[in-house]
Amino acid sequence: MRIGIPDDGGPLVPATPATTARLVGLGYDVVVAAGAGSGAGFPDAAYQAAGAAVVPDAEAWSADVVAITRAPDALATPGPAGLRPGARGPDGLRIGAVLIAQIAPAARPDLVRALANRGVTALALDAVPRISRAQSLDVLSALSNVAGYRAVVEAAAEFGGMFSGQVTAAGTTPPANVFVIGAGVAGLAAIGAAGSLGAQVRAFDVRPEAAEQIESMGATVVRADDAAQQVSADGYASALTADQEAAALRAYAVEAAAADIVITTALVRGTAPTTITAEMVATMRPGSVIVDLAAPGGGNCELTVPGRRVVSDNGVVILGWTDLPDRMPRHTSELLGTAVANLVQLGTPGRDGRLVLDPEDVVVRGMTVAAGGEVLWPPPPVAVSAPTAPGGPGSVAAPDRTAPGSRHARPAAGGARPASPMVRNGLLALGGLLAVLAVAASPAEQAAHFTVLALAVVVGFYVISHVSHALHTPLMSQTNAISGIILVGGMLQIGSSDPVVTTLAVLASTVASINIFGGFLVTHRMLGMFRRGDAAEGSNR
């Protein structure tokens, strides 16, 4: 089969020379329209070196499988004999072709119907089911990451100062204050980018589970308990109640007044709620910048105009750009191309250059919005649990993780139910009683050792359970030091005349050695991620 990469007129391209080589390796003939990758910095010669043929645009549109960045606005309706030969652009899609693109099927039902009438099998890259197995196809998350990073770049270009504080002979300047609303993929990317530039970053999200993610990025969590929602089942925020919205707006007003940069990312199922009112903008300092990442959904700021730069009466700049990923075409094209290649690889199990779309595959079915002349949108809901499994009556297959932050209990194998809290508490009480009896029956010196061990376990549990993710690597170094102490103690006891003591000493020395050398190996690989050149590449392999 032939895969075509037309020139759809934008700076992005859904295949890079690297991903083109992957497609060729799967057995496909790849044709790329002349100049299709020029906007992203990929010359035609690079595609030819990867094994593709550079052809006129019309030939790319007429391929068996056509991949573009975004679906066209409209399609001509074919007559009884089909489209006339030589049709240009999207109208050159042949009947029965496979189209891979961002389609926005929920917002563009007319286009989905036109694709179905054409007999096109349409795969929407922006309709990937949010399950673990489909993460490598998740274009929306990838583009959100780019948009969050680019938002900080746009803010830095508009802001009249430096993000990091400076110490000079003439005096010092404070760092910029950045406030990020929303800690999803885009928000976390913005937090990371702003922090790397030296800004003081504060962030807020109505989802309580997002606080740990904000702290792990080095930002300060803004607390507004009255606005916090219950822990979400799917990792996404839902609409706020009136009281929660009022509490959130109060927090936004305080933070916006003190911020130099405000980046808003709040979207609830594609709709942008108001988070920055005109009154809040009026309290901000002249020269402050608001970057509204929710502009495609209408905007979080009341003064946002999608696609435009607006300056308020008091000199605050509001950016409502809707094309932030397009402003980083090379990186965005690499992410799009990787997702397309992953999708094609999923549909080519035989690596024989033939695309096989399994309608029973939940990933393929969720992305297929039109096929066989029928509209298949919306897809059936993704099942998170399966019917009775062969393991026995009442057994249930383990559910898939539907999104980051989701929580599903995995049932025990063979249909066994997890122990009830009463049973668990009873077992804990029995274990505690046996431990107390063992200590009471031991000599005084041995009882002191048991007491120290018990206190160490309790203290260690509470200390480690409250350590932030950002401190896990330093904590690992501390555990290496403790393992070193255990290793020395074990080696001193190996020569004991008591065989039990010798056996325990050997086991302790072995386990401590594994922990020490494993910890050093992991630390070495992590440090390699921050090195440049060949050393870093070797460490990451």
Residue 155: name the closest of 314, 290, 310, 312 by CA: 290
Report how far residue 271's alpha carbon sits from residue 236's, in angstroms, rounded to the nearest whole number: 13
Report how far residue 266's alpha carbon sits from residue 256's, in angstroms, rounded to the nearest whole number: 15
- Active-site hit among 29, 38, 113, 135: 135
Active site residue 236: yes
Active site residue 496: no
Cβ partners under 8 Å of residue 178, min gap 6: 152, 155, 163, 190, 194, 199, 200, 201, 202, 259, 260, 261, 262, 263
Report how far residue 110's alpha carbon sits from residue 326's, in angstroms, rounded to the nearest whole number: 25
- Active-site hit among 118, 130, 150, 207: 130
Got the DSSP string for 467-506?
A: --GGGHHHHHHHHHHHHHHHHHHHHHHTT-S-HHHHHHHH
Active site residue 401: no
Contact 326, 147 (CB under 8 A): no
What type of residue sits at position 290? Answer: I
Which phi and psi angles does 32 have, rounded to 5°? -120, 130
Residue 153: name the closest of 334, 321, 336, 337 by CA: 321
Place of tokens 């089969």: 1
Q: Residue 511 corresponds to which tokens in the numbers above?
A: 């386990």
Report how far residue 159's alpha carbon sits from residue 456's, in angstroms, rounded to the nearest whole number: 52
Three-state secondary-structure class, residue 135:
helix
- Active-site hit among 126, 138, 260, 292: 138
* Residue 472 Cα to chain centre, angstroms: 21
Report how far residue 367's alpha carbon sits from residue 379's, in angstroms, rounded to the nearest whole number: 8
Strand 171-173 relative to strand 166-168: parallel, antiparallel, unpaired? Answer: antiparallel
- Active-site hit among 62, 102, 141, 395: 141
Report how far residue 209's alpha carbon sits from residue 214's, in angstroms, rounded to the nearest whole number: 9
Active site residue 141: yes
Q: Residue 213 corresponds to which tokens in the numbers above?
A: 């993610």
- Active-site hit among 48, 70, 113, 236: 236
Active site residue 205: no
Which residues does the annotation mark as catalytic? 130, 135, 138, 141, 236
